[in-house]
Amino acid sequence: MARACGLGLLLALLLPVVGTSIPGTVVRLNKAVLSYVSEIGKAPLQRALQVTLPHFLDQSGEVLQPTRVQILNVQVTHLHLNFIDGFGVRLLAAANLTFKVFRVPEPLELILPVVLLADARVDQGSIGTPVVSISSCLSLFSNAIVLHGNHSVTPALLVRVQQHIKAVLRNKLCLGISNLVQGLNVHLGTLIGLNPVGPESQIRYFMINPPNVTKDYISLDINAVLFLLGKPIVLPVNATPFTLPEHVGIKSTMATVGLSQDLFDSALLLLQKAGALNMDITGQLKSDDNPLNTSMLGQLIPEVARQFPSPMPMVLKVRLGTTPVVTLHTNNATLWLQPFVEVLAVASNSAFQSLFSLNVGVNLSLQLSMSKAKLQGTTSVLGEVQLTVASSNVGFIDTDQLRALVGTVFEKPLLDHLNALLDMGVALPNVVNLHYVTPEVFVLEGYVVVSSGLLYQR
């Protein structure tokens, strides 16, 4: 209990700190998810309806006899859920409850059909998670069916047994449904858990508005906070509110997730601040397939050949001082990088000597995909790499001649490094044991949509 209170206090302190410039995400659960929940929800509902009954006071004999009554089996034959516009979800269930009355000398077994109607409000919890609560519940009973071997049961006894069972179950069945929903709320609370993005970075999602419920879907406005070394990454300017248009993605799928431009900007800002996009590209002197040495460079720059008559290995120190820029157009995502590259060579005393530095511009095609709950990416170079000389210790440099060498020694290591980072992925909003299945990713103007099925696994 103290641990839960501590978590609530931590979140209460944390959430206001990040301000209004947090990237926006929208999760829309469509009608298809209700059909899936109706199917997998039968077993939990059956367990919830397996309640304990008090003894029945049997008045058949001369002495009032307390008699044990037990539910032997619950079979939910029908479960249907639908959205209530502006409110939440309505549950309609039909079940057969098998009872055993342990009367002497002959026990009584019977089946009691029941129909359950319940309305559940879906709201926003105090710590930014969805909260479901039962607002109304009704149990409607049919006449009991006496099982074979109980022909000696008198109509009067059967009436009294049914009255006892119905009086007890009228509240207990609804209480069982309420308890089931409380367990669901605990599960939904895992939405706010931290998910790793890198070794020192995490992402956390939480709701910012009450859910929007229509007759076709329930929509959750969710903000994402990315953390580096425990501190939130906040965009330099306030993020614009993100609204997911009505008809996007695949309508028949269970979940539609909209990811704003700001989420991508924040993720790239995190990678840049963490230094994850920096890298050193080294050359091995005896490697036949790596031309990153002074001998190769000396063929293009005479001063390098003069200073290094013997071949020496070189290093490209790639540093990203500016944040990468992602651009989202319909069916087209690109990534613009502007790294600063310093070219160094190993001198005769084993110290590094700076030869020159370059301002580089690289335009990349960005392909997005999903794996489990993570959005991943791969890149490839679009067009020519742009080069301008920032400084030189080896005289004049013809960038046109240098471009071919840079393409050989720079592009592939850069893509390998960047794609390895993007392959780690960014977790989408999710709760424990609920997985995205057969997702499809759509790039639209200024945002990305993921349409996906859902699978619940213990």
- What integer pLDDT is reported at residue 197 of this predicted model? 84
Residue 161 in this model has a pLDDT that exceeds 50: yes
Residue 15 in this model has a pLDDT that exceeds 60: no
pLDDT level of residue 5 (50, 70, 90 thresholds): very low
* Higher per-residue pLDDT: 365 or 224: 365
Q: Where in the chain is the domain with CATH 3.15.10.10?
A: 30-190
- What integer pLDDT is reported at residue 55 of this predicted model? 84
pLDDT level of residue 150 (50, 70, 90 thresholds): low
Over residues 216-235, the mean pLDDT reads 89
Pick the CATH number of 30-190 from 1.10.3470.10, 3.15.10.10, 3.40.50.300, 1.10.10.60: 3.15.10.10
| Candidate ranges 77-91, 192-206, 419-433; pick with highest mean pLDDT | 77-91
Q: Give CA–CA dist 335/204, Å, rounded.
A: 24
Topology of domain 244-456, per CATH? Bactericidal permeability-increasing protein; domain 2 (3.15.20)
**Tokens (6 digits) for 311:** 């071949």
pLDDT level of residue 153 (50, 70, 90 thresholds): low
Give the tens place of pLDDT for each residue, 258-285. 999 989 998 999 999 899 999 999 865 4
* Higher per-residue pLDDT: 211 or 57: 211
Give the tens place of pLDDT for each residue, 379-414. 999 988 999 999 999 999 999 888 888 777 889 899
Residue 348 in this model has a pLDDT that exceeds 90: no
pLDDT level of residue 17 (50, 70, 90 thresholds): very low
Written in H, E and C, the secondary structure of the chain is CHHHHHHHHHHHHHHHHHCCCCCEEEEEEEHHHHHHHHHHCHHHHHHHCCCCCCCEEECCCCCCEEECEEEEEEEEEEEEEEEECCCEEEEEEEEEEEEEECCCCCCEEEEEEEEEEEEEEEEECCCCCEEEEEEEEEEEECCCEECCCCCCCCHHHHHHHHHHHHHHHHHHHHHHHHHHHHHHHHHHHHHHCCEEEECCEEEEEEECCCCEECCCEEEEEEEEEEEECCEEECCCCCCCCCCCCCCCCCCCCCEEEEEEHHHHHHHHHHHHHCCCCCEEEECCCCCCCCCCEHHHHHCCCHHHHHHCCCCCEEEEEEECCCCCEEEEECCEEEEEECCEEEEEEECCCCCEEEEEEEEEEEEEEEEEEEECCEEEEEEEECCCCEEEEEEECCCCCCHHHHHHHHHHHHHHHHHHHHHHHHHHCEECCCCCCEEEEEEEEEEECCEEEEEEEEEECC
Give the tens place of pLDDT for each residue, 172-209. 999 999 999 999 999 999 988 888 887 788 999 999 99
Residue 8 in this model has a pLDDT that exceeds 80: no
Percent of the chain with pLDDT over 70: 90
Q: Where in the chain is the domain with CATH 3.15.20.10?
A: 244-456
- What integer pLDDT is reported at residue 289 of this predicted model? 58
* Higher per-residue pLDDT: 446 or 152: 446
pLDDT level of residue 6 (50, 70, 90 thresholds): very low
Residue 4 in this model has a pLDDT that exceeds 50: no
Q: Give CA–CA dist 181/81, Å, rounded.
A: 14
Over residues 322-340, the mean pLDDT reads 95
